[in-house]
Amino acid sequence: MHDDHETDHHDHHGHAHGHFHDHDNRYTDMQARVRALETVLVEKGLIDPKAVDAIVETYETKIGPKNGARVVAKAWSDPVFADWLQADATAAIASLGYTGRQGEHMRAVFNTPGTHNLIVCTLCSCYPWAVLGLPPTWYKAPAYRSRAVIDPRGVLAEFGLALPKETKIRVWDSTAELRYLVIPERPDGTDGLDEQALAALVSRDAMIGTAIAGVPS
């Protein structure tokens, strides 16, 4: 399972691990390129650098998968909320304070014992920012976007998730402005847990569909 670590924003050293972000010339070029762009936009009075800071700070520290995990935990704990989430996810999620950019039109899709849901955007990188924050690199990269719709079991295996052969897989390609949140199945052995403890079992990947919920330790 991949932890969310939405609060772990002091750890920015890990950029040598993926093939999209080696210390190559292209990455260095981009540093200069974006700096030049910001410089000229500031000089023209078009950009407030403090607004850029505020946007970055919002998505690095305030909006992340903990939002979605709270939605899932509430759906597991409160059948009335779960029904509302199924019928009108945008309103149900807004009732917890999660609204706005890339969360304007939400749909919640519920895993069942027979069906597993998986979310992708084959055309770009549509993702429910309001509940999951910014998408991880793999979600935006060609390997995932190309294969999720044709070989989801192969993709899930790369996340260490092997579903039973008979489990139906439903892949949702986010081609319009609806943003999807997977509600994983509530794990066994969680009867006595409160919403906070339940939320801790819900990873970002479980809400995309590349994982299932964790079990209590």
Partner 1 sequence: MNGPHDLGGQMGFGPVAPQSHEPYFHADWERRALGLTLSCGAFGAWTIDESRHARENIPPACYLSASYYEIWTRALEVLLERHGFATSAEIASGTKQIEPAVPKRILKAEMVAGVLSKGGPCDRPLETRPVFAAGDRVRTKNFNPETHTRLPRYARAKTGVVEAVQGAFVFPDDNAHGKGENPQWVYTVVFDAAEIWGEGADPTLTVSIDAWESYLERF
User: Which residues are catalytic, by number?
Assistant: 121, 124-126
* CA pair distance 76, 87, nearest whole angstrom: 15
First to last CA, the chain: 14
146 is an annotated ligand-binding site residue: no
Is residue 54 involved in binding partner 1 (CB under 8 A)?
yes
Task: Return the structure tokens found at 44.
Answer: 């023209």
95 is an annotated ligand-binding site residue: no
Is residue 86 involved in binding partner 1 (CB under 8 A)?
no
Residues between 166 and 205 that touch partner 1 (CB under 8 A): 166-178, 205
* CA pair distance 154, 123, nearest whole angstrom: 20
Q: Choose the stretch contacting partner 1; rule: CB under 8 A; options: 65-73, 77-85, 157-165, 191-199.
A: 157-165
Nearer to partner 1, 4 or 74 (CB): 4
115-120 and 168-173 as β-strands: parallel, antiparallel, unpaired? parallel
Indicate which single residue of 87, 91, 143, 215 sits in contact with partner 1 (rule: CB under 8 A): 143
Show the beta-strand stretches assigned E in 164-203: 168-173, 179-183
Indicate which single residue of 66, 74, 92, 102 sits in contact with partner 1 (rule: CB under 8 A): 102
Q: What are phi and psi of 120, to 5 degrees?
A: -145, 165
Is residue 59 involved in binding partner 1 (CB under 8 A)?
yes
Residues between 2 and 41 that touch partner 1 (CB under 8 A): 2-3, 5, 8-9, 11-12, 14-15, 17-21, 26-27, 30-31, 33-41
Is residue 141 involved in binding partner 1 (CB under 8 A)?
yes
124 is an annotated ligand-binding site residue: yes
Indicate which single residue of 45, 79, 113, 192 sits in contact with partner 1 (rule: CB under 8 A): 45
Query: Minimum distance between the CB of residue 142 and partner 1, rounded to whole angstroms?
Result: 4
Nearer to partner 1, 193 or 213 (CB): 213
Question: From the centroid of its chain, how far is CA 83?
Answer: 22
Is residue 165 involved in binding partner 1 (CB under 8 A)?
yes
* CA pair distance 179, 81, nearest whole angstrom: 19
Residue type, 30: M
Q: Which H or E run contains 110?
A: strand 106-110
Residues between 106 and 125 that touch partner 1 (CB under 8 A): 107, 120, 122-125
**Cα radius of gyration (the chain):** 19
What lies within 8 Å, CB to CB, of 125 at 6+ separation is 135, 139, 140
For the annotated binding site, the residues are 121, 124-126
